[in-house]
Structure 1
């Protein structure tokens, strides 16, 4: 669960930073005005691309955790199935 919280928090922080940068650049280029929808879309794109490179380690840790949990669930299911077959 910790890996999920860390990865999600870092994604949110990266989006907010990207949004601030995009709004700042748009405000500088367009005399203090900006289109909110366009700024959000651009921030999603920028943060998505940046997270692919910057958050690789956190994403791998989260994936390992999910894989281990899935393996435990599959083993428990197989054990219950084997007990049911034995009965």
Structure 2
């Protein structure tokens, strides 16, 4: 659970940072100084997705290992229950 929370929090922070960066650059480049928030959010979503692929690799791997361990334990428990039922 901890790995999930860490990975999710880092993804959210990365997205918020990208929104701030894109809005800041957009404001500097736009002569009106007005920003329609739809496009910066879409651009930030795409950029944060690509950035998280590279920057959050370690956290994603830790989360995947935890999920795999949990699935293996659940599968082993299921097989154990099934073997007990077969004996009866």
TM class, shorter-length: over 0.9
Q: CA deviation at 1:30?
A: 1.0
Alpha-carbon distance between aligned partners in 1 of 2:84 and 2:69, rounded to the nearest angstrom? 23
Q: CA deviation at 1:41?
A: 0.4
* Residue in structure 1 matched with residue 24 of structure 2 by the alignment: 24
Gaps of 5+ in 1: none
Q: CA deviation at 1:58?
A: 0.2
CA-based RMSD: 0.6
Equivalenced residue count is 87
Q: Which runs of 4+ in 1 moved over 2 A?
A: none
Alpha-carbon distance between aligned partners in 2 of 1:13 and 1:55, rounded to the nearest angstrom? 12
* Residue in structure 2 matched with residue 66 of structure 1 by the alignment: 67
TM-score by length of 1: 0.97
* Residue in structure 2 matched with residue 55 of structure 1 by the alignment: 56
Gaps of 5+ in 2: none
